Structure 1
Amino acid sequence: MKKTLITGGVFGLLSLGVHAQSSVTLYGLLDVGMVFVNNSVSNGQGHQLYSLISGNIQASRWGLRGSEDLGGGMKAIFVLENGFSVVNGKLGQGGDEFGRQAYVGLSTTRFGAITLGRQYDSVVDFTNVLTAATQWATIYFAHPGDLDNMLNSNRVNNAVKYTSISYGGFKFGGLYSLGGVAGQFNRNQIWSVGAGYNVGPLQLGAGYFNVKDPNFSFFGNNATSSATGSNMSGSPVYSGYASAKTQEVFAAGAAYTIGSAAVGMTYSNTQFKDIGAIAGLPANGAGGAAKFNNVEVNFRYQVTPALLVGAGYDYTKGYGVNHAKYHQAGLGADYFLSKRTDVYITGVYQHASGIDSTNKPAVASITTLSPSSTSNQIVAVVGIRHKF
């Protein structure tokens, strides 16, 4: 159960003169599992790998969420959320103290909320929940390299964000990130818009974001990021395009529930434009644009109130200056021991072909794992998740 602290006495001592009702909620989750990878590159060779990894279905985290009633349907709100590894206690998100989220703002019952800080983009807000990776399939079923950010690998710093209230199940929102570079208004600029609809058995979502200088503004906005080198070396799916001036993503998805079953589908188009615009960074296909179409179909079935099973397939095709293809399939099951604790098992297979962003034969590269030395890679995970 979430621990809600009604700040009558304690907050009264800390902030004399504030009489409105306030609350702070401590929340979080711990997720860890045993992971097997059939082929993981080490010293140029592919080897089997057995490891303990934190954050498989969801990243481990703890956070504080608070509000103060200002009257007239208005509240002051804030969120501070820290990511960490259960395995070794290290901070996540490149060493940021509150790298998952950190924002403050105002919300109203009539118009929605405006918040300022480190936040999620609109693709995450409106399409993230429609992917299998965020439901049961673990992060390893994310679209290759999470190149469309539908898994929420990257957050947005310096962001001003608006989120509407629900109008009969319809919501919309947008975000703008100030670049913060004197005399260069568009430098490191990020903006996004999106909308969603959720009524009865039908759920829809769509989002778009546009990122200037993505190597620094999007992939490189953490404490340990490089101010001059590549911050996009995590996956050969896109690492050759770190010098791109712009990254654009459009994503949409739908899910429909029929009794105990649910079927879903997502589509995304990702483009790294004007490759070579930032000197000194990888520039395969300089002068052109690397583009990717991605389609995912997923299915889940609630066998019993405690047991969920799922299956999914994902296909990514590069075009423009990119000529790689990735096929991915996953199976999984999630068993709830209680409302707060569940155990899960998932397997994911990926096959790559063509030429990838490094101008080499594409190798399988399941998201967050070291690439394979071949065109194929398999991962299996058994884990436990506990929420508080």
Structure 2
Amino acid sequence: MKKSLLVAATSIVFSATAHAQSSVTLYGIIDVGLVFNNNAGGQKQYFMSSGNIQGSRWGFRGTEGLGGGLSAMFVLENGFSVNNGRLAQGGDEFGRQAYVGLFSTSVGTLTFGRQYDSVVDFTGAYEVAMQWSPYFGAHPGDLDNMNGTNRINNTVKFKSLNYGGFTFGGMYSLGGVAGQFNRNQIWSLGANYTRGPLSLGAAYENVKDPNFSSFGNNATSSATGSNMTASRVYSGYASAKTQQIIVAGGAYSFGAATFGAVYSNTQFKDIGSLAGLPADGAPGDAKFHNVEMNFKYQFTPSLLAGAAYNFTKGYGVNNAKYYQGIVGLDYLLSKRTDVYADAIYQHASGTDSTGAPAVANINFLSASSTSNQVMGIVGMRHKF
């Protein structure tokens, strides 16, 4: 008996020594709020929303030292709804992120799996919906994916080390369709420069068959129908052959104040190329200029206030315009728990992707029956 205990104890000691440079961390965020929408198809609406400023999630991240400045690493991240406990991201178990890779102290990081694109990695932080605003405050429909609505499957991604404040990287997603190398292919590039109070970033993304490769890559996505039904801003362009996104942004801090700006150009090209899908306004290209100006002020270590204005202008086969204003407050109750309140107003004009007069359609809300829409939210976020 004593001999068995000694062997077991010795095994534990050697096991701990062999894995001394390894670590696995469990982490998560629970974010929930109460929302008021003044016009959801002509009716007032009150509802509970999960994952507002940050998506509700739990996950594992781990690393293992391999020697010579090389480490193996992984992330498995699940998204869920606080309201009802259901899986988010279309029911995918690890729909937020799922990847494994290598990190080199002399080169950078190479990862494989379901990941964010270069638009999110290098420019997402300049949009208020990735800062203090809930995802409702993203650019209309999140059509430039700066809020990270669409993760990318089957990706190979590289991100460099930080060279005096400069980082760069790229991502490639294999389409996986036999005999059609470019089918469902996605690739993106980006770079960021940060020095002192100044930060700048830029990114480019090219998406083939976006209805299936980008918008339709969850377990419940349709293999034949439209997966671009979440917003009237783009729902009429599901038959586009290509989506192209160009983003440039920056921010500058003066003490407790930070000013930011970001420009994006999104294009749905060759509308009508994918048969059997919505093609309002086809043939041609639907293009969007988007400009956001934002400001935040840290009144105290616990209290932050922000405001932003966003203008989206459609051109090409559409002429829709969306004007959006956001104000918000965030108050820290502790290092891991905060409460927040935000209000958003949107006005629309012109003709939208459906070929009908444009109506206000704040991101992820039911479209208004008129050209105006107002929403408010109060919520709480806890990190662990």
Partner of 1:28: 28
Which of 236, 242, 262 is equivalent to 2:238? 242
In the alignment, the residues of structure 2 paired with residue 16 and residue 360 of structure 1 have an alpha-carbon distance, to the nearest angstrom, of: 65
1:152-182 C-alpha deviation (Å, 9 max, x unpaired): 0001100000000100111000000000000
Q: Which moved more, 1:23-32 or 1:132-141?
A: 132-141
Secondary structure at the aligned position of 1:197 is classed as strand
In the alignment, the residues of structure 2 paired with residue 292 and residue 371 of structure 1 have an alpha-carbon distance, to the nearest angstrom, of: 19
Cα shift at 1:343: 0.3
Q: Are positions 1:365 and 2:361 aligned together? A: yes
In the alignment, the residues of structure 2 paired with residue 377 and residue 239 of structure 1 have an alpha-carbon distance, to the nearest angstrom, of: 19
Q: Check 1:12–1:138 CA distance in 2 against 1; reply closer, same or farther (3 A cut).
A: farther
In the alignment, the residues of structure 1 paired with residue 317 and residue 235 of structure 2 have an alpha-carbon distance, to the nearest angstrom, of: 13
In the alignment, the residues of structure 1 paired with residue 377 and residue 313 of structure 2 have an alpha-carbon distance, to the nearest angstrom, of: 27
**TM-score normalised according to structure 1 size:** 0.94
Cα shift at 1:199: 1.8
1:12-51 C-alpha deviation (Å, 9 max, x unpaired): 79x899656210011110000110000002xxxx111111
Partner of 2:92: 96
Partner of 1:253: 249
Q: What is the letter of the counterpart of residue 229 of structure 2?
A: S
Q: How does 1:263-278 map to 2 (within 5 A)?
A: 263-278=259-274
Which of 55, 59, 62 is equivalent to 1:63? 59
Partner of 1:5: none
Quick check: 1:209–1:250 contact (8 Å CA) kept in 2? yes
In the alignment, the residues of structure 2 paired with residue 143 and residue 360 of structure 1 have an alpha-carbon distance, to the nearest angstrom, of: 20
Secondary structure at the aligned position of 1:355 is classed as coil
1:125-174 C-alpha deviation (Å, 9 max, x unpaired): 01111111111121111000000000000011000000001001110000
Which of 97, 116, 120 is equivalent to 2:112? 116
Partner of 1:380: 376
Cα shift at 1:200: 1.1
Secondary structure at the aligned position of 2:90 is classed as helix
In the alignment, the residues of structure 1 paired with residue 165 and residue 199 of structure 2 have an alpha-carbon distance, to the nearest angstrom, of: 9
In the alignment, the residues of structure 2 paired with residue 146 and residue 212 of structure 1 have an alpha-carbon distance, to the nearest angstrom, of: 18
Partner of 2:123: 127
Q: Are positions 1:77 and 2:57 aligned together? A: no
Secondary structure at the aligned position of 2:129 is classed as helix
**TM-score normalised according to structure 2 size:** 0.95
Q: Are positions 1:329 and 2:320 aligned together? A: no
In the alignment, the residues of structure 2 paired with residue 279 and residue 123 of structure 1 have an alpha-carbon distance, to the nearest angstrom, of: 29
In the alignment, the residues of structure 1 paired with residue 106 and residue 302 of structure 2 have an alpha-carbon distance, to the nearest angstrom, of: 38
Partner of 1:38: 38
In the alignment, the residues of structure 2 paired with residue 28 and residue 298 of structure 1 have an alpha-carbon distance, to the nearest angstrom, of: 28
Q: What is the letter of the counterpart of residue 87 of structure 2?
A: L
Q: What is the letter of the counterpart of residue 99 of structure 1?
A: G
Partner of 1:171: 167
Q: Are positions 1:317 and 2:294 aligned together? A: no
Q: Check 1:12–1:22 CA distance in 2 against 1; reply closer, same or farther (3 A cut).
A: farther
Q: How does 1:188-227 map to 2 (within 5 A)?
A: 188-227=184-223
Partner of 2:135: 139
Which of 280, 283, 301 is equivalent to 2:276? 280
Percent identical across equivalent pairs? 68
Cα shift at 1:285: 2.1
- What RMSD over aligned residues (CA atoms) do the two structures have, in Å? 1.5
Q: What is the letter of the counterpart of residue 112 of structure 1?
A: G
Quick check: 1:20–1:70 contact (8 Å CA) kept in 2? no
Partner of 1:6: none
Q: What is the letter of the counterpart of residue 36 of structure 1?
A: F
In the alignment, the residues of structure 2 paired with residue 234 and residue 377 of structure 1 have an alpha-carbon distance, to the nearest angstrom, of: 16
1:26-81 C-alpha deviation (Å, 9 max, x unpaired): 1110000110000002xxxx111111111111110011000000001100000000
1:255-276 C-alpha deviation (Å, 9 max, x unpaired): 0000110000000000000000
Number of residue-to-residue matches in the alignment = 374
Q: Are positions 1:154 and 2:145 aligned together? A: no
In the alignment, the residues of structure 1 paired with residue 110 and residue 193 of structure 2 have an alpha-carbon distance, to the nearest angstrom, of: 20
Q: Are positions 1:105 and 2:98 aligned together? A: no
Q: How does 1:343-354 map to 2 (within 5 A)?
A: 343-354=339-350
Q: Are positions 1:229 and 2:221 aligned together? A: no
Which structure would you say has the larger Rg?
2
Q: Please, which runs of 5 or more residues in structure 1 have no aligned partner?
A: 1-8
In the alignment, the residues of structure 2 paired with residue 287 and residue 12 of structure 1 have an alpha-carbon distance, to the nearest angstrom, of: 67
In the alignment, the residues of structure 1 paired with residue 20 and residue 330 of structure 2 have an alpha-carbon distance, to the nearest angstrom, of: 42
Q: What is the letter of the counterpart of residue 310 of structure 1?
A: G
1:69-110 C-alpha deviation (Å, 9 max, x unpaired): 000110000000000000110111000000000000101011
Q: Check 1:363–1:81 CA distance in 2 against 1; reply closer, same or farther (3 A cut).
A: same
Cα shift at 1:332: 0.5
Q: Check 1:12–1:221 CA distance in 2 against 1; reply closer, same or farther (3 A cut).
A: farther
